[in-house]
Structures are given as C-alpha cells and as structure tokens.
Amino acid sequence: MTSLGKRQIHTDAFGGDCLDASPAVEIDRMDRGGWYTVMNGFDDANIFQTWDFGRIAHPGRDLSHIVLRRDGQPVAAAQLLVRRVPGIGGIALVMWGPLWRPKGRPADPADFLAIMEAMKAEYSVRRGLFLRVLPRVEDGAGEGARALSAMEALGMRHSDAKAPYRTFIMDLTRDEATIHKDLSRHWRRGLAKAEGAGLEIVEGSSPEILDAIDDLFIQTQRRKGFRAFDSRTLTKVHRALPDGMKMHAVMASHNGEPVAGVVVSLLGDTALMQNSATAEAGLPLNAAFLVHWKAMQWVKANGGKRYDLHGVNAQANPGVHLFKRGFAGKGEEERVFIGTFEAPGPMLSRLLVEGGQTVRTLAATCTAQASQMMAMAMNKGPAERADATTPSNPV
C-alpha cells in the first residue's frame, strides 16, 4: 500500500516486491471477504467484478485486485483477470471496471483517471502485461467524454476487437403505474395476455429455479440455432456468491411445465438481466412478458434505480431489440458504452494476445456462419420473434 507522504513496499500476487509510485493505492492486499467488503461500497458494482465470477468463469486466470483510497476510504477499485505465459508475457483483463462510483458520495472523474493510471503502471509497465479494460461507462458528452479524455491522456488505445456494448436501461425511479403506462402498446398487450393465461409464477434465489431456466435456455438455443454462452456457468457463480449478492430468478409454468424464465443480478444501484429464455409452449402464452415484468418489480422493490436489459443488436437480432425497446419504455433511447481500451505493454505480450485474438476471431466467424446456415435450413430466419433475450458477454 502507498499513502500520501510515505511510500511502502507491497508484495504482489506473483511474489514480487513493488515500490508503489501512486499515493493511496493498494494492490493484492485482500482476500475474498475483503474484496466483497470493498465492492459493497460502490453503486457501480456488478457481477463481472465479483471474486466468484472471476474464479469460476475464468478458471485459467489469476485474480488481482487494486484499490484506490482517499482518507482511508475506497473511491475506486478493480478486479483483474491475469493470465501469464512464463518468459513471454500475458494479459490483464478488467471486465466492467474499474468501480468508481462510491455509495453516498459523487463520483469523481479524477478517481477514474487515478486508478486507470495506477493499473497501467502496475500491470502494463511493471508486470509487462497486455492490459485490456472495458469500463462500465456510457458514451456521451458528460461522463463518457471525461472517461475518453482520461484514456487519451494515459495513451490508452481504443480497441475494435469487440463492438461497443449497446443496451436499453429502464429508469426505475418512476412509480410502477408510470412504468406500465410508458410500455409500448405491443408490450402492454403482451403483458395483459400473459396475465390472463393462467401461468404459475415462482421466484427466488433457489439454485433449482436457475437450473430449470438453464434447461429452458438450452432449448431456446437449439430452436433458434445460436450459441451465445453457457448459462450454467452463471448458475455455478450464483451458488458460490455470498447470500447478499445472489441473483434472483423468476420462472413461469403452465400445466406444471416450465415455459419461461429470467435471471437478474442486483449489485449496487443498477440491476442486470443475466439470462432469459422461453420454451416453445410459452410462445403463444406470451410468458416472457410476465416473467420480465415480475423481475423488474423485484428489482424496483429491492432498491434498484436502473435495470440494464443486457445487450441488443438491431441488425443481428431485431426481434429481441424490439422486445427490449418496448419494455424500456417511451422515450428511452438505445445506450452505447465507450468500448474497450488497451495498453499493449511489451512487444511479446502484444504478439501473444493479438495473435491468439486473430485465431479466435476466425473461429468465431466460421461458427457464426455455420449456425446461420443451420437456422436457415430449419426455416428459422434472423427475425424470429422475441421469445427469448440473448445477453452478451461484455468483453
């Protein structure tokens, strides 16, 4: 740890001594419980920054944690996923971080700049890693512009390896009657039909509910001919998370059979739709409308101020885009985030990461083309109705 007026030595995760150059910066000084204590102090906390997501979803990486303190209090923090190749280099990845909106105090762009500077100094310069950061920051003239200025000042380059995250975000500070009134006409009709369809609703944090929704998601993938991610990984993360951080699931059944479900996480003040799916039998019942409405009600009742519907692509999946836009409400525009930024580090780390990235991109392109051909062969066009939403990994 470092402090104003006094520089201290710390030992990093790989056993090396480091003389900190930035004041009030801690690196690799806490365990799982300590990290969750820090996370709970931020409004922009999210599941991708949890210890258990890093450990379970990325088992081949080491976890590293950096915390910026002012007057002893954390004002910015980040979890990094680190993979090293001995003698060559490696990568340090920040998924939806750093956290820099402390609860109970205004977010300070200077803290964002300071922790980005500290991460670049530690991981890119000192450890010689390829640093890749995806901040949870919306593009625009205010906060987004300041974040972009900070990246430019640090010499961080914008990456086009993945398109910027796009989504709809519901404003839950409105009362429920206003939220309902602001739904699109299509959405209000769909919800009314689902409410009269005799669906049985169960909700909670029971792993059994999430397991059932995972089964629905697998059915949806097979029917629509896509492969987005393995939702069962998130269910494993859910089982490991502390009680106060577990996800919430809503499932609809008809005649005793599950027909639709949605899973959400609420850390900080913004909820995130994590997984959603509908069985074939749930389509004529409009079951997806009811489970999403119930999930939103739970988020609002538990203090969520915003509800991120987790990813849209109007070109690749227009049906889901229409569904989410209608749910977000009148006047709600598609949100675009600032994207991914990189500090490439030494040449060996850069070649290691970018070479592997080229191979993965080629493989993903071939897989996507094969899936599209399979869907067309099954008479499933790209504009298939929005019976399920397909959340995307942010990086």
Cβ pair 51, 38 in contact under 8 A: no
pLDDT tens digits along 85-102:
877 779 999 999 999 999
Instruction: Mean pLDDT check: name the lowest of 6-15, 18-27, 199-208.
Output: 6-15
* Whole-number pLDDT of residue 360: 43
Instruction: Mean pLDDT check: name the lowest of 109-118, 241-250, 339-348, 368-377.
Output: 368-377
User: Within 10 Å of residue 104's Cβ, how many Cβ atoms?
Assistant: 7
Mean pLDDT of the chain: 84
319 vs 11, more confident = 319
Q: Is the pLDDT of residue 15 over 80?
A: no
144: left (phi over 0), alpha (psi -120 to 50) or beta: alpha
Mean pLDDT of the region 185-202: 97
- In Å, what is the CA distance from 239 to each residue of 201, 209, 233, 236? 22, 12, 10, 5
CA distance between the termini of the chain: 30
Split at pLDDT 50, 70, 90, the class of 394 is low
Which parts of the chain are beta strand (E)? 9-11, 17-19, 25-27, 62-70, 73-85, 89-95, 130-134, 157-159, 166-167, 169-171, 200-204, 248-254, 257-267, 270-278, 306-308, 335-336, 340-343
38, two tokens: 């820090």
Cβ neighbours of residue 76 under 8 Å, at least 6 residues apart?
67, 68, 98, 99, 100, 111, 112, 114, 115
Cβ neighbours of residue 83 under 8 Å, at least 6 residues apart?
60, 61, 62, 90, 91
Residue type, 130: F
Residue type, 384: E
344, two tokens: 């490439």
Q: Is the pLDDT of residue 383 over 50?
A: no
Q: Is the pLDDT of residue 227 over 80?
A: no
Q: Is the peptide bond before 346 cis (omega within 30 degrees of 0)?
A: no
* Whole-number pLDDT of residue 18: 47
Mean pLDDT of the region 261-265: 97
* Whole-number pLDDT of residue 391: 45
* Whole-number pLDDT of residue 12: 42
208 vs 367, more confident = 208
Cβ pair 167, 313 in contact under 8 A: no
Q: Is the pLDDT of residue 377 over 80?
A: no
Mean pLDDT of the region 265-276: 96
pLDDT tens digits along 318-372:
989 999 999 999 888 899 999 999 987 655 545 555 654 443 443 344 444 444 5
Element (H, E) at 359: helix 347-377
**pLDDT-above-70 percentage for the chain:** 80
Cβ neighbours of residue 146 under 8 Å, at least 6 residues apart?
109, 112
Mean pLDDT of the region 229-247: 92
* Whole-number pLDDT of residue 352: 55
226 vs 59, more confident = 59
Instruction: Mean pLDDT check: name the lowest of 3-17, 62-76, 225-239, 329-343.
Output: 3-17
User: Within 10 Å of residue 62's Cβ, how many Cβ atoms?
Assistant: 17
Split at pLDDT 50, 70, 90, the class of 224 is confident
Cβ pair 282, 259 in contact under 8 A: yes
310, two tokens: 């987790």
333 vs 295, more confident = 295
288 vs 142, more confident = 288
* Whole-number pLDDT of residue 144: 87
Q: Is the pLDDT of residue 122 over 70?
A: yes
- Nearest Cα residue to 356 out of 85, 64, 14: 85
98, two tokens: 């750093």
Q: What SS3 class is residue 7?
A: coil
Q: Which position has the token pair 């206003």? A: 178
Mean pLDDT of the region 256-276: 96
**Cα torsion 168, 158, 58, 47: sign:** negative
**pLDDT-above-90 percentage for the chain:** 64
Domains and CATH numbers, the chain: 9-162+337-345 (3.40.630.30), 167-335+370-377 (3.40.630.30)
Mean pLDDT of the region 68-76: 94
Split at pLDDT 50, 70, 90, the class of 218 is confident
pLDDT tens digits along 170-190:
999 999 999 999 999 999 999
* Whole-number pLDDT of residue 306: 96
Cβ neighbours of residue 198 under 8 Å, at least 6 residues apart?
254
Q: Which position has the token pair 């340090």? A: 92
Instruction: Mean pLDDT check: name the lowest of 256-270, 335-349, 381-395.
Output: 381-395
* Whole-number pLDDT of residue 87: 75
- Nearest Cα residue to 282 out of 212, 228, 208: 212
The CA distance from 8 to 124, in Å, is 20
Q: Which position has the token pair 């300070």? A: 108
